[in-house]
Amino acid sequence: MLKGFYKCEYGIGDHLMRSVMYVHEGSMLGGNSAFAHDGTYYEENGEIVADITSYRHNDDPNYQSMLGSDTSSINVRGRPDGEHIYRFVGTSPQMPGAIFRSKMTPLEEEPIPPGAVGTGGITNGLYSIHLRTLDGVDGGLTGIMLLSDGRILGGDAFFYYLGTYTSVNGRWKGQIVNQEHTPSRGENPVFGGHEVGIGFSGACSDTGAELEATALAGKRSIRLTAVLKLMRNV
């Protein structure tokens, strides 16, 4: 049965893109550096049928939609290819006649115990995250982050995040491990090629959060700030 945390590679013709996706109990939530994905799926006669909407969270014009729209949708059907990989084929109303193809490959989910969330804690949901480095270091990341009862899953076209947090009374703190699912040294020299441990703390509200963090990338310690915006409650 399709469930878990995946890297997605997808495209139309020679135009290829990547993202991360969490699949669980009929829901598909994920995204990448510029777009969030929100969908549903069900199983029918040995196939998986999914409808997914993609919408922009990053205004940077360097990130273009594969389907030519800031909000787009796909309708796909797929089957397992081997024990864990899934392949899908479908269409989009934004590009009639074009064939959409995708491959979902599982990412490692370490059995990390979740943190605790109390009264006034951060809301469970799918968030966009825009992170920037401090102290004159040129770098940063944008992506999506799924927060659920003290557990963090997220990522973008090159990286995936696993972590835990605690939250109460408008504050939150936690730890994240940022890892590559696709080599990124040429795209992101700060984080590329490293498994990066990040400790953070900050304020949160019903609509988002902020954090300050310290990341250890190899032997290099980097200070960071990030802004999270709630895109969908879960």
pLDDT confidence of residue 187? 66
Return d(Cα 161, Cα 9) in angstroms, integer. 17
Name, in order, each residue with C-beta under 8 angstroms of 112's C-beta and a sequence gap of 6 or more. Answer: 151, 162, 163, 164
Per-residue pLDDT of the chain in tens (234 residues, 90 and over written 9): 678 999 999 999 888 999 999 999 999 999 999 999 999 999 999 899 999 999 999 999 999 999 999 999 999 999 999 888 999 999 999 999 999 999 999 997 666 788 999 999 999 999 999 999 998 888 788 999 999 999 999 999 999 999 999 999 999 999 999 999 998 766 676 787 888 999 999 999 999 999 999 999 888 899 999 999 999 999
Three-class SS of residue 11?
A: strand
DSSP string across 168-210: ETTEEEEEEEEEESS--TTT-TTTTT--EEEEEEEEB-SSEEE
Please state which CATH class domain 125-233 belongs to: mainly beta
Neighbours of 58 (CB within 10 A): 18
pLDDT confidence of residue 190? 73
CATH for the stretch 4-106: 2.40.128.380
pLDDT confidence of residue 110? 66
Structure tokens at 229: 């915006």
pTM of the model: 0.94
CATH 2.40.128.380 in the chain: give the residue spans. Answer: 4-106, 125-233
Neighbours of 95 (CB within 10 A): 16
Cβ atoms of 222 and 137 closer than 8 Å = yes
List the Cα angle 6/8/85 in 5-degree steps.
65
Task: Select from 137, 150, 128 the least CA-distant residue to 208.
Answer: 128
pLDDT confidence of residue 49? 97
